[in-house]
Amino acid sequence: MRDMWRPARLASMAFVLALLPRTIQTQVSSNSAAPQARAVLEKGSADPDPDTRREVAVALSLISNRDPSAALLSKLVKDKDALVREAALASIGELRDPKLAASAKDALQDEVPEVVFAAARTLFKLKQPQGKEVLIEVVEKQAKAKSGFIQTKLRDVVRRMKRPRSAMLFVAQQGIGFVPVPGLGEGFSAMNSLVGDTDFSGRATALLVLAPDRSPEVRELIEAAFNDSDWSMRAAATQIASSRNERSWGPKLVPLLDDTNRRVRYRAAASLLRLTAPNTR
């Protein structure tokens, strides 16, 4: 019986061996085209059309942070178009390259709120303390100016910040510290609906971004949000409690069952049922 399959195995091995030269040739061809690929990105980063430059900034999130083309992000983060700068900052966060953190720190001085938020979010992702500091200041609606790094110009931008578009995809990707539990929903639809709401505040968005941080400082901010006068802060706290499966926050949801805002009220009811479910861990 074993001999019956030997010809088939030999034929299969011969087929694989026949493909090897073609595979090696393809790899060599791809490597030789690398300079051409870098030239394409270089040319696109200097294109007069800001939409083209933005596409380059987005595409650079796909490369290795060891590739020379990653240096283009340092140029694009200073682009005259705000959407290009915002996209470049997002890609820096995706690459997680500490060498690019300096560009993100400079962007904290930008006059466009969305760019400042993107810079803070990127620095937070790179584990740079300035990012967390700015996000906390956004949540607290004040600038404590713990160091000379926070300038008056930045404080004004933080105060004017509304709902940063740049945070939407980030929040969806990070899942605000989501803890999967068998039999319980993921809640991403509810979260995306929140962030996409035109009345959802920059403070609440910043709180969602900070949510994966388990430090006592951030936990205190989340707990205070349950009683915040801003409905979006209460809704964000409810979403975080649900996504993180924080059973200890269940009692904080009870008063929200009578919340005047239906977006808070219904999420509080669903979250309370989630946290009291028998299979919640």
User: 186: pLDDT confidence band, cut at 50, 70 and 90?
Assistant: low
Mean pLDDT of all residues in the chain?
A: 77
| HSE value, Cβ hemisphere, 13 Å, CA-based, for 248 | 3
Q: What pLDDT is recorded for position 173?
A: 45
pLDDT at 158 over 50: no
Mean pLDDT of the 205-226 span = 92
pLDDT at 152 over 90: no
Asked if residue 201 lies in contact with residue 194, where contact means CB atoms within 8 angstroms, the answer is no
Q: What pLDDT is recorded for position 7?
A: 57
Mean pLDDT of the 151-162 span = 47
Please write the tens of the pLDDT for every residue from 101-148. Answer: 999 999 988 888 778 888 988 999 888 999 898 888 888 875 443 433
The pTM is what?
A: 0.65
Position with higher pLDDT, 53 vs 281: 53
Mean pLDDT of the 46-67 span = 86
User: 87: pLDDT confidence band, cut at 50, 70 and 90?
Assistant: confident
User: 191: pLDDT confidence band, cut at 50, 70 and 90?
Assistant: low
User: 159: pLDDT confidence band, cut at 50, 70 and 90?
Assistant: very low
Amino acid at 215: S
Lowest mean pLDDT among 40-44, 84-88, 152-156: 152-156
CATH architecture for the domain at 41-160: Alpha Horseshoe (1.25)
Hey, where are the domains in the chain? 41-160, 176-275
